[in-house]
Structure 1
């Protein structure tokens, strides 16, 4: 336990490198260090259910279990039925022919189990090498702080993953050979210099995933993918195995606001984030306009989180996803016995539920005219009148609306009230489509890679330069939502440990790119009648696909998922093609 802090730092690094949980115990089965479920109760002897560790200590041999609970060593375990461990690799630490401890790698999910099974020899050899480093350095320098640091540095230097260590003054204390190669620098150039490492996107809730970080020193800055850990008063940056250097050439301002889930450093996104920061404290209504998939609800939630209402409710309702006859009762609520089929206890409407908080009305252009008049009264008087009630209830809400429709055209066509429009459009925000966010594709790709690999629990893959080039030139009709769905698909199909290459991309993406090059097919512009004919053909195909999906599934959410569109889009298409929702 005298050297426990150093071993704990090493354990966390080993877990990050191998993407498995790690536990280290001494010869008396006292837990010295660990990660995940083993990250507590240090210095305490394991009471029971430690048969595998004891077996390694007694036999002084490594133990491999690829299917826990079924191994003979597990027979006497009284926790066998509730055991969460799916696979185990235990390596003895041998010193002077005695086993003085065990380093164990443990899998807790199917992905980790498969990774351990597929890499047993490599992981075993790697950990045995680490064990030898422990023996040759740690035990000979017990109680010597300088010796412990030397051990840590030796371990880091032997890693094939880039590592940077900054001291409490943010000065570079150590960069291993892999990191120097990635940065194209030498130790003499950088050791002792002040470094700044910050996540390019908002990093709260994503600290265990890989993110793009800006590494700044002198007048230079690099964008590297990795994990930033705060360990005591030091910073430890672990680089990902696969790097994809960004093409950013301009200096990225430290003052740019960091807004959760709003990834992007293009000029439109910087202006958007600054605007959100300025208007968030205001109680005024906001109208967010943008194409489908640009992230209107993400912006609404960002405004709410940055406002003084952040600890109050954020209530979201999609006006297109709820049938007209139900929308009124959902928004305004009703009293007991207000209509046939009403709940015996009545119902609190979403407007009232958002009291003191924020009400987000998505697809506001699809709200029926009758409800628009009632909503206008609520906006003006800050009172809500439940169905069946004659007494209004005061409410304190901020309304954020969103639409991908042209509301001014709707007003001209008599589909939307002009007075309500001006009440909702006090602060207009227009979201840029993804095709106009120059330079943001790569940032978003790595943002979604981190998000989806962490959520699914798989290894962070690399991505080839050819794929990034294709993604940069694609038009993205579905905007950020389409990119997120594509990345989620790719992280599911890419083989473990490999990079995402062009052969994994869906045909619509690769075939579309062939036509954008200087191809004879693109040397003339299609005539207008031809374009109209193509549009009509696509609409017929789309209508038929939706009809078939509706005939197979009664659940609209499932239909939308099968078609790869949002539930609001599905309802819009049903209305557009005059299909029966049943």
Structure 2
């Protein structure tokens, strides 16, 4: 090893020697030959040696089951590695010391002195997080009546123009008592908007009851929705059971996936909505209803009407005000913010610092069409969060179909020079990438705007907004 590099290692060790000796963690530093260069007093005390006596000795001769020499050879860090020393199972970290691209040594730390200590600390951290979450939730709900609605309009992430318009419409609609049909592809957040409408309405302090029409077996739907009297059928609970309509009285009933409701139940639902009263299965008396109805579907109800699978009269009853949620591919400006939201959410849940997306990864995400919408984005971010290292999410950690799609479009686009020292802001870079992608696709489609919109997976109106935004004629 060059003398200059040895001097640098010596200077660094001397600078921090007092601190390293004061630490409870055990620390050892080796040189490029895996010989002990420094070992702090707590570690030497445990090994039963004097620190000055083991200086210059091979680390393999001093520390049992060590892998420090391997770290020097490979230059690869090893995190949270089990190591048995003097009969105790310990957890250690090992990191190479690199100077100008050359490994000049390595540093190792024993962060938990036995697995019991690790389990104790792990339980302690979990208890602290649980206590924090409890007090936070308690402070948030101290003056709030528990109704079943958990999300507010502010919980919906998005700064794009389409989302701002949508929020404005929801605010206007929520204040009335009008029946609302929320439409959108799977994963666009239809349930969140149902919660938000209830929270903004005059019924906010009354129950919010949700039913997934696709998740309940057909033979149980009637009793689940309308309730039943004691003895109404074999297996009926003693005293009967209130249905979702009765439970929602005074508040809001949210029927999700109403397009999957069987025809027989559609007829019964229509009757309840027309008469504003409900009769339990096996009952003889009707109960007056005072509810607001919100429904949602990802299915094309008009096509279902044509095929005879959905009643036209029920369609007009529930489709008083329609709220159409855009797919994620039509609100790409929100992808970066949504991704960061999910990463921060995971960070709060786990106590681990949230990693950051590289520009290449985010560019690929902007180019992807997201058939699973926000739910797919959340799943991708969760996978990347748990597999990321060094607090970065590179392109390689994204699913193959997403990364390949993004790479394909990027290769055809005129790329901004991200390596310039005076590079513009991330938002400006992403705008430039989007502009280049649109220009490339325009050329490929012979300036056919309909084909361009189809290839990009956006509506023509969204395409024209983006052309105007980027000054593309």
For the aligned pair, the TM-score class normalised by the smaller chain equals 0.5 to 0.7
Query: What are the equivalent positions in structure 2 for 1:160-239 lying under 5 Å apart?
Result: none
Q: Say if 2:365 and 2:406, in contact at 8 Å, map to a contact too.
A: no
Cα deviation per residue 1:254-296 (whole Å; 9 max; x = unaligned)?
Answer: xxxx823210011110001001111112111100011111110
Query: What are the equivalent positions in structure 2 for 1:320-331 lying under 5 Å apart?
Result: 320-331=214-225
Q: Say if 1:86 and 1:110, in contact at 8 Å, map to a contact too.
A: no
**2:307 aligned to which of 377, 394, 413:** 413
- Secondary structure at the aligned position of 1:447 is classed as helix
Change (3 A) 1:67 1:345: farther
Q: Number of aligned residue pairs: give it.
A: 290
CA distance in 2, matches of 1:387, 1:70: 57
Unaligned runs of 5+ in 2: 1-109, 130-135, 141-151, 413-440, 446-473
Query: What are the equivalent positions in structure 2 for 1:348-367 lying under 5 Å apart?
Result: 348-367=242-261
2:121 corresponds to:
86
Q: Say if 1:68 and 1:85, in contact at 8 Å, map to a contact too.
A: no
Q: Say if 1:335 and 1:386, in contact at 8 Å, map to a contact too.
A: yes
1:514 aligned onto 2:407: yes
Question: If you compute each CA radius of gyration, which structure gives the higher value, 1 or 2?
Answer: 2
CA distance in 2, matches of 1:490, 1:274: 34
1:476 aligned onto 2:370: yes
For residue 109 of structure 1, report the CA deviation from its aligned partner.
Answer: 4.2
2:465 corresponds to:
none
2:168 corresponds to:
274
Q: Say if 2:354 and 2:391, in contact at 8 Å, map to a contact too.
A: no
- Secondary structure at the aligned position of 1:439 is classed as helix
For residue 504 of structure 1, report the CA deviation from its aligned partner.
Answer: 1.3
CA distance in 1, matches of 2:387, 2:213: 35
1:487 aligned onto 2:381: yes
Change (3 A) 1:456 1:524: same
1:378 aligned onto 2:275: no
2:327 corresponds to:
433
**2:241 aligned to which of 328, 344, 347:** 347
2:125 corresponds to:
108
- Secondary structure at the aligned position of 1:277 is classed as helix
1:505 corresponds to:
398
For residue 493 of structure 1, report the CA deviation from its aligned partner.
Answer: 1.3
- Secondary structure at the aligned position of 1:452 is classed as helix
- Secondary structure at the aligned position of 2:153 is classed as coil
Cα deviation per residue 1:124-166 (whole Å; 9 max; x = unaligned)?
Answer: xxxxxxxxxxxxxxxxxxxxxxxxxxxxxxxxxxxxxxxxxxx
Q: Which has the higher helix share?
A: 2
1:66 aligned onto 2:66: no
CA distance in 2, matches of 1:378, 1:67: 67
- Secondary structure at the aligned position of 2:371 is classed as coil
2:156 corresponds to:
262
For residue 84 of structure 1, report the CA deviation from its aligned partner.
Answer: 9.1
CA distance in 1, matches of 2:310, 2:324: 19
- Secondary structure at the aligned position of 1:454 is classed as helix
2:59 corresponds to:
none
CA distance in 2, matches of 1:486, 1:67: 35
Change (3 A) 1:480 1:407: same
**2:318 aligned to which of 414, 421, 424:** 424
Unaligned runs of 5+ in 1: 1-63, 72-82, 88-105, 113-203, 209-257, 526-582
1:529 corresponds to:
none
Q: Say if 1:111 and 1:457, in contact at 8 Å, map to a contact too.
A: no
Q: C-alpha root-mean-square deviation of aligned residues, in Å?
A: 3.1
Q: Say if 1:461 and 1:491, in contact at 8 Å, map to a contact too.
A: yes
- Name the TM-score, length of structure 1 as normaliser: 0.46
- Secondary structure at the aligned position of 1:415 is classed as coil
Cα deviation per residue 1:231-255 (whole Å; 9 max; x = unaligned)?
Answer: xxxxxxxxxxxxxxxxxxxxxxxxx
